[in-house]
Amino acid sequence: MASGSSDTDGTDRGIDASDGNANDRPIEEYPLPPGPDGYPIVGNAFQVVRDPFGFYDVVSTHGDVVQYSIVGNTFTALLHPDYVERVLVSEHERFERYLFADLGLDIGAEGLVMSDGEQWRRQRGVMQPVFTTDRVQSYGETMATYADRATKRWDDGDVIVANKEFSRLTLRILAEALFDLEVDPTSDDEAVVRAARAINERADARRLSTFLPGWVPTLADRRFERTMDDYRCRVEELIEHRRAVGADGDDLLSILVRAGGSGESALSEAEISDNLVAFLFAGHETSSVALTYTFSLLAQCDDVVDELRAELESVVGDDRPGAEHARDLEYTDAVITEAMRRYPPVYMLFRRALEDVSIGGYRIPEGTILTLPQFRLHRDERFYDAPEEFRPERWIDGSKRDRPEYAYFPFGGGPRHCIGMRFATLEMKLIVATVLRRFDLELLSDPDPEISATTTFGPAADVRIRLHRR
Ligand code: HEM
């Protein structure tokens, strides 16, 4: 399928990335985007809250640039990869990141996820070198060790709740990578574990209904704040300890403490602490959701599992899967890529227009919140044959070449793309390899699970898998 096809209503609205300025027409002369009817004041809020994913079926009937409103906020959905590219990459400076603060999630105002402008740029500069392919390899040993230990605890015939099991596993890996801490995710003793759990629960409770007015602090809010205060105290304690013993480790905390010294890029205490909140939020449930769906899909596709095992046999042989094999695990990579196409853990990105812009022949007024929904673009028939099918081959059979780049963006794009992308990819590859070498999978839950619209695209109900030792 070629890129640059016309919009769904058949009219060519100019997918050219430079549209709007190409013929020097003033932006004010462009019409506002079309969109579904809403109610006075609340706009489309009820439709969104009732069925956020189904609402986008309605949205997409209006074209690739579609406006709707929720309680006084104007949203515009962008449903074409070229528009996604403009917002995230080529014209990124015209848009700012939007949402997390509005969700009421305390995920570190001074950290990478929440900050903007110069503060964000400086921190990204400090942390980018920590997440290069080579540096991430050094976390491979931790990932492989924890994956190995988890699968050794499992027995023939065990039923695992995949979403919980992988959430615990990815938290163990992250705590080690961030803090050099060995945690027990099933215990309440460690403030890091309590914070990770609280962030997840909080994210869960903050559905899209957050946009509705009338939010008042509750008991749960205060409990959440106390947990986050404990976590910050714990992080400070760990920072002090690093300073005392000399921070020469490979964990992120040591690296941030070293960067905290002096000079232009120095990170303040608050920035170090808030980054560790941000990473706890961004770096574990996302990978867990991706793994849950990957295994759920694999359990339904014997031929894919056969192919994957053949690759493992030839690349890994009798060794323990490790970072040194990752580069050659091409089919494994395609499997994970395809799973994240079907079920993107982060299913929608949000940006706010900092000025009036025109996209696809429409005027997007300053202040408009743009939504870039992976869950729609990743399943768009214009870019994927049989989008509902799980076909890892589509990433290695050459058809990728005909697809616009931003028809697939599970890790976002442009300067604010996921800094943990290589970390997550290595982690997922090693976990998939370790599990599949030891077990056959039998899916006991719904093969096409209902999705919950929280901060990740997690399954609404537990995903149960029975393990059969090979
Ligand atoms: C499958 C797993 C993951 C997925 C799908 C994912 C997805 C994303 C996406 C889409 C963004 C961009 C958000 C936006 O542009 O609005 C992002 C940002 C981010 N991710 Fe990930 N992520 C994953 C794993 C991780 C891991 C393992 C870490 C840390 C070790 C991490 C840390 C971050 C951070 C810190 C940001 C903010 C970057 C910035 O604003 O400069 N992520 N992630």
Instruction: Provide the CATH number for the domain around residue 60.
Output: 3.30.43.20
Q: Is 79 left (phi over 0), alpha (psi -120 to 50) or beta?
A: alpha
For the chain, residues with pLDDT lower than 50 are 1-18, 20-21, 208-216
In-domain check, residue 130? yes
- pLDDT for 208: 46
Any domain includes 112: no
Query: Of the candidates 357, 388, 405, which is a domain's last residue?
Result: 405
Residue 30's pLDDT is what? 95
Distance of CA 91 to the CA centre of its chain: 22
Centre of ligand 1 from the C-alpha of residue 162, in Å: 21
Atom index in ligand 1 nearest the CA of residue 289 equals: 1
- Percentage with pLDDT > 90 across the chain: 56
Cα-to-centroid distance, 418 and ligand 1 (Å): 4
Q: Is the CB of 279 under 6 A from ligand 1?
A: yes
Are both 171 and 123 inside the same structural domain? Answer: yes
Q: Is 342 in the pocket of ligand 1 (CB under 6 A)?
A: no
163/258 same-domain check: yes
pLDDT of residue 23: 57
Together in a domain, 131 and 80: no
72 burial (CB, 10 Å; 0-12 / 13-18 / 19+) is exposed
Q: Are residues 339 and 359 in the same domain?
A: no
- From the CA of 411, give the closest atom in ligand 1: 10
419 Cβ inside 6 Å of ligand 1? yes
Domain identity same for 20 and 85: yes
Same domain membership, residue 331 and residue 223: yes
CATH number at residue 205: 1.10.630.10
Q: What is the pLDDT of residue 6?
A: 33
Tell whether ligand 1 has an atom less than 6 A from the beta carbon of residue 412.
yes
| Co-location of 131 and 253 in the same domain | yes
Cβ(378) – ligand 1 distance below 6 Å: no
Sign of the alpha-carbon torsion through 14, 350, 365, 379: positive
- Determine the pLDDT at residue 262: 64
- Among 73, 69, 56, smallest CA distance to 8 is for 56
Distance between CA 310 and CA 314 in Å, rounded?
Answer: 6
Q: Are residues 130 and 93 in the same domain?
A: no
Tell whether 156 and 252 lie within a shared domain.
Answer: yes
Return the pLDDT at 17: 42
Position 189 in a domain: yes
Report if residue 364 sits inside a domain: yes
- Check if 346 has its Cβ closer than 6 Å to any atom of ligand 1: yes
For ligand 1, whether the C-beta of 418 sits within 6 Å is yes
Is residue 325 domain-resident?
yes
Assess whether the C-beta atom of 411 lies below 6 angstroms from ligand 1.
yes
Atom of ligand 1 nearest to the CA of 131: 30
**Residue 109: its pLDDT value, please?**
80
Domain termination site, one of 355, 370, 405: 405
Q: Looking at residue 274, what is its pLDDT?
A: 87
CB distance 14 to ligand 1 below 6 Å = no
Give, for 372, the enclosing helix (H) or strand (E). strand 369-372
In a domain, 287, yes or no: yes
Does ligand 1 have an atom closer than 6 angstroms to the CB of 290? yes
Domain assignment present for 111: no
Same-domain pairing of 141 and 197: yes
Are 226 and 149 within one domain? yes
Q: Ligand 1 within 6 A of 178 CB?
A: no
Number of domains the chain is built from: 2
The CB-side HSE value for 198 (13 A sphere, CA atoms) comes to 23
For residue 192, the model assigns a pLDDT of: 86
Shared domain check, 85 and 14: yes
Q: Which of 375, 405, 435 is the last residue of a domain?
A: 405
- What is the layout of strands, in order, in the sheet containing 464-469? 159-161, 464-469, 439-443
CA distance 195 to 185: 11
Under 8 Å between Cβ of 346 and 375 = no
Range of the domain at 415: 117-346+410-469
Candidates 101, 102, 62, 54; CA nearest to 78 is 62
**Top mutation candidate among 96, 286, 288 for ligand 1, by most atoms within 8 Å of CB:** 286
The whole-number pLDDT of residue 342 equals 97
What's the CA-to-centroid distance between 282 and ligand 1, angstroms?
A: 6
User: Would you say residue 17 lies in a domain?
Assistant: yes
CB 351 within 8 A of CB 95: yes
